[in-house]
A and B are shown apart, each in its own frame.
Chain A
Amino acid sequence: RKSTLNPNAKEFNPRSFSQPK
């Protein structure tokens, strides 16, 4: 089965995300 996911999709940039310690 072929995936419907697109490898050329635009990368998401989170507004607020802090690395968990």
Chain B
Amino acid sequence: QEPLTASMLAAAPLHEQKQMIGERLYPLVHNVHSQLAGKITGMLLEIDNSELLLMLESPESLHAKIEEAVAVLQAHQAME
């Protein structure tokens, strides 16, 4: 699968752009946290597209964000 680029994204309708990024992000998140993959991906998709593209290219920064998302979720669940 070819890497997702900014120009590929720009050619897509706005509402499709997050879906396109999500389709790339989801399997990577699933590798780390299969149970929470949908939720974590949804949280990450609120980040700017330009930053998300960088994260797709950088496993280290992606993993850091995934861990951050898990920590936020756990803190949120602990409060309820």
Contacts and interface: CB of A to CB of B under 8 A. Distances in A.
Classify the interface of chain B: helix, strand, loop or mixed.
helix
Interface residues of A, number: 16
A16 to B, nearest CB: 7
Contacts of A13: 38
Contacts, number: 56
Interface residues of B, number: 26
A8 B73 CA distance: 9
Interface stretch (B2-10, B22-30, B55-63): B22-30
Classify the interface of chain A: helix, strand, loop or mixed.
loop
A8 to B, nearest CB: 8
B44 interface: yes
Interface of B: 19, 22-23, 25-27, 30-31, 38-39, 41-47, 65, 68-69, 71-73, 75-77
Interface of A: 3-17, 20
